[in-house]
Chain A
């Protein structure tokens, strides 16, 4: 392209404007063009030159003053031009004069030739001076025009300093037509048209259009600037891929500036997220580390995809000198595609050293030292690939990084969360997909409808249709684009975060600044303030703390084969659990094997009462915390106490350290009679052997046997009525009466069970207990619970227990050596064996008891056995070491003929023994208080016997006097007793 014609054009325009009437235009022009006119200037011209120079200077000064130069200049020029003309005239006059002088010369010749000569010489001198001066001026002018001429052209656009609003198109300007063309070929078309323009420019028929342009934002169109539509047709005739005969859109003057609207692309600043456009890393997220000074290249950080030569082909390529060329080529090609690329992994020095140690070199100290590597021509820092890429190789808009991707960049930085710049993320996410949902309260903060508030009724294509509830348009329905919208919240609103880093957290709004909302999340100590964008918030539904986590608060989860934990906090990506050992730890959901769901787990507390989920229990030792049972896992019970802050009020205990306070739903814990273990301090004190261990129809689980049985009511309101048990608990049954169509709830004890074969009526005990099946003894035993048991439990037992407690040491004294034997046995198994063993011989030994001989049954009957078992067991449980002592106690019994004396004596015996012997073994097994209690009781020997002696005999005497006696005898006799169960078994057989 040659510039000269354009210059002409350009200048001629200037001339048209400025020097139209000026005869000297042609002389001005060289100056305008910065080409100093140095040739053939006579004096007259010189003078003009001078003037012009001055003019020029002034002109330049004017221009320098940043005035909208054109008009001013025009005026000035006119002014100067006029002057110049005047000047010219003057000179012309001079010339005329000169001519006149010449003409006159003859006259002076005639008159005074000498005078004229003088005159002439003077003039000659003047002229020479002027010439010299002019030469200087010439030099100055040249200099000036060189300087200013250029700068003027450099300044180029006359509109350079004019604000854009003054440049808006007017009716005088050419029109713009939009013409359809082939999509994607717009640029090509522009170049083609330009070629035509150039070709025809200096012909008779230049292209009649002013300009033509295209925008990427408007594919399928080119825009032609011309004065007439026919010109457009003419210009585009024969241009390929343009369809000027189709509809041509005349762009309204108002909209013309929009066609050339330029929006500065989102500035790329360090921290921005970008994606690779192509190559091996295509689609991978990268973070801008630095922008190179020309703004066209950026240094980015990405997670490398390296296979460290583990790929066979490439290993070969690097190994032996060179594989065949084409092979290598293919590999190279392959290695740079997204297909089959290695997974994203941080750079590993070890891996790289394995195959490619020569390609690897450590970073110099200057750029950070040991963590930087150069491997196969690429740089790696902290495991990331660091690379300079050209801006057109990466995508900078609509990057929409996901949290997973972003975390890959965040995890390695020490501060973790710090490195996640919410702002940068928001920047990238700004254009992300719709976050408005129907029902959201939204506020318009930008645009014409600014200030109105409404409820979204539909969201479609980036436009929210909303019913206005506040502001001028109240009650109307308007459409507003996302751009000017934000969600509206009030302080105190319960909100849930729906996007971004804090996704799924919920909290309370505490502060709102523009579209940034500060909310408080978490509870208790974990309370935290975070700031998020309002677009990422939703109003939380009532109490809707729904999380995406599979696990809910207080769930019991399996952590590994041996460990379970109770969820104490659910976070978005992690779960905090308290495991069975009392350690709280944070795990991610994938570390959790599964949720443990066993709603009907049962454990036994230290008193032997069953503990079920929902019961309120209390720790016996330690902190004596109480709480509601959340979960039971084997021997561990997870409890919740809402008054505690640690671990969200959850703590874990062993079942054996717990005592029931309230059973859920008032469940009766003891199937028969009052809860002895509760009323009996000694039993509580002495531990787990609780009275309920032995006795009553301990249901081992499964369906209640009584259900479906035909029963008669033996006492109470419905006495005599017949019915069927429809449902049952431990102690009560729901009986559907045959007579009245009514179902009653009644104590099982009040029922008679009809044997389906014999038709005999049995008590509950008989029915449930296999032993109870023995016919004739039944009636006598039925008395037992009524008679004997109350007597035991009714206070008379207390002393006896004390007594037994006091006896304990004595047993110890008796022989610690037997203890191990007891302890070695399985706990459960021991008790009955022991008891039965102990008792059986007694009967066998007692001749007088022969009456009972048939009835080994009592051994079966729990209630009759109770006292003894309780005692003996207790000792056994409390400290196995105690057991052996029993013989000594029993000896004393044995020596005794009467009960009363027994009680009296026993304490005495024990008192002596207790202090020395008791202490050590107790210390081991129990916390201090328990033995202390036990110990203290025996010590005052005096009081104990008193109360005991009185009631005990009475009770015994009244009812089951023989039993103890017999037992006592048995024990006493019990040379056999020390012997282990085997011996008893023998006795039993008697």
Chain B
């Protein structure tokens, strides 16, 4: 699926921190967030994904994994996730998420202080 060379093109979804190549984001969208954003078109992934992320998690059992729970990705797809994703979502996406009652969890570490 992924070769080291592709690492460069990897991007992480800023909403769910799912990691895959930019091409796949463009073609398939984000497996977790696609339903939310599908009506916005695939171009939107350019704004909702970030090339700056850190820490990779290969997640096989999202429901059992404490790591997934801690990362708040339990209930998402299996796959590769980033621990931290830098970048800010555009305003309109944030509004969109809000209007569909989606609880957006920033992935850049800014929520750590909330606890």
Give chain A's interface residues, CB within 8 Å of chain B.
1, 3, 6, 9-10, 13, 64, 150-151, 153-161, 163-165, 167, 169, 173-174, 176, 186-188, 190-191, 193-195, 197-198, 201, 206-207, 209-216, 225, 256-257, 260-265, 293-296, 391-392
Contact = CB atoms under 8 A, between A and B. Distances in A.
Given A157-B73, A256-B66, A265-B86, A151 B60 contact: no
A163 to B, nearest CB: 6
Contacts of B4: 188, 191
Main secondary structure of the interface of B (DSSP, over half): loop
Contacts of B1: 1, 191, 194-195, 198
B71 A295 contact: no
Given A154-B36, A211-B68, A263 B83 contact: no
B48 to A, nearest CB: 10
Contacts of B61: 210-211
Contacts of B70: 164, 167, 169, 256-257, 260
Contact of B73 (A156, A161, A194): A156
A603 B107 CA distance: 80
Contacts, number: 181
Interface in B71-105: 71-80, 83-84, 86-88, 90-91, 100-103, 105
B79 A1 contact: yes
A198 B20 CA distance: 14
B96 to A, nearest CB: 11
Contact of A260 (B7, B71, B77, B114): B71
Contacts of B105: 157, 160
14 contacts: A6-B78, A154-B100, A164-B115, A176-B67, A211-B57, A211-B58, A212-B58, A256-B70, A257-B70, A262-B108, A264-B112, A293-B91, A295-B88, A392-B52
A169 B63 CA distance: 14
Contacts of A256: 66, 70
A10 B63 contact: yes
A293 B4 CA distance: 30
A193 B58 contact: yes
Given A210-B59, A211-B61, A213-B57, 11 more contacts: A161-B103, A173-B66, A187-B56, A191-B7, A194-B79, A195-B1, A225-B67, A262-B83, A264-B108, A293-B90, A392-B52
Nearest to A161: B103
Contact of A174 (B35, B65, B79): B65
A151 B37 CA distance: 11
A215 B112 contact: no
Contacts of A209: 60
A215 B54 contact: yes
Contacts of B91: 293
A153 B35 contact: yes
Given A153-B35, A160-B105, A213-B67, A296 B80 contact: no
Nearest to A391: B52
A647 B12 CA distance: 65
A801 B115 CA distance: 101
Contacts of A195: 1-2
A86 B83 CA distance: 48
B41 interface: no
B17 to A, nearest CB: 10
A392 B66 contact: no
A197 B58 contact: yes
A294 B64 contact: no
B56 A293 contact: no
Contacts of A1: 1, 31, 77-79
B56 A151 contact: no
Contact of A3 (B36, B58, B77, B114): B77
A211 B66 CA distance: 9
A155 B74 CA distance: 11
A216 B100 CA distance: 34
- The listed residue with most B CB atoms (<10 A of its CB), out of A158, A164, A191, is A191
B33 A294 contact: no
B36 A265 contact: no
A261 B51 CA distance: 20
B37 to A, nearest CB: 9
Nearest to A186: B56
A191 B80 contact: yes
A159 B69 contact: yes
A213 B58 contact: yes
A582 B112 CA distance: 64
Contacts of B65: 174, 210-211, 225
A225 B61 CA distance: 10
B32 A211 contact: no
Contact of A154 (B33, B68, B80): B33
A580 to B, nearest CB: 62
Contacts of A213: 55-58, 67, 83
B58 A294 contact: no
B43 interface: no
B6 to A, nearest CB: 8
B84 A262 contact: yes
Contacts of B74: 157-159
B67 A211 contact: yes
A638 to B, nearest CB: 62
B86 A216 contact: no
B45 interface: no
Nearest to B7: A187
Given A160-B72, A211-B68, A295 B86 contact: yes
A10 B64 CA distance: 11
B109 A264 contact: yes
A155 B64 contact: no
Contacts of A163: 114-115
A263 B68 CA distance: 18
A201 B1 CA distance: 14
3 nearest CB pairs, A to B: A262-B109, A264-B109, A173-B66
Contacts of B69: 157, 159, 167
A294 B91 CA distance: 10
Nearest to B66: A173
Nearest to B33: A154
B54 to A, nearest CB: 5
B87 A294 contact: yes
Contacts of A216: 54-55
A165 B52 contact: no
B67 A155 contact: no
Contacts of B108: 262, 264-265
Contacts of B62: 10
A159 B72 contact: yes
B77 to A, nearest CB: 6
- The listed residue with most B CB atoms (<10 A of its CB), out of A1, A9, A211, A296, is A211
A6 B67 CA distance: 18
A214 B102 contact: no
A156 B75 contact: yes
A138 to B, nearest CB: 22
Contacts of A174: 64-66
A190 B101 contact: no
Contacts of A225: 65-67
A3 B77 CA distance: 7
B58 A194 contact: yes
B74 to A, nearest CB: 5
A516 B51 CA distance: 38
Contacts of A155: 75, 101-103
- The listed residue with most B CB atoms (<10 A of its CB), out of A151, A260, A261, is A260
Given A164-B115, A294-B87, A392-B52, A156 B16 contact: yes
A480 B2 CA distance: 45
A28 B109 CA distance: 38
Contacts of A260: 55, 67, 70-71, 83
A215 B103 contact: no
A165 B114 CA distance: 10
A9 B65 CA distance: 14
- The listed residue with most B CB atoms (<10 A of its CB), out of A3, A160, A210, A257, is A210
A206 B64 CA distance: 15
Contacts of B102: 151, 154-155
Contacts of A214: 55-56
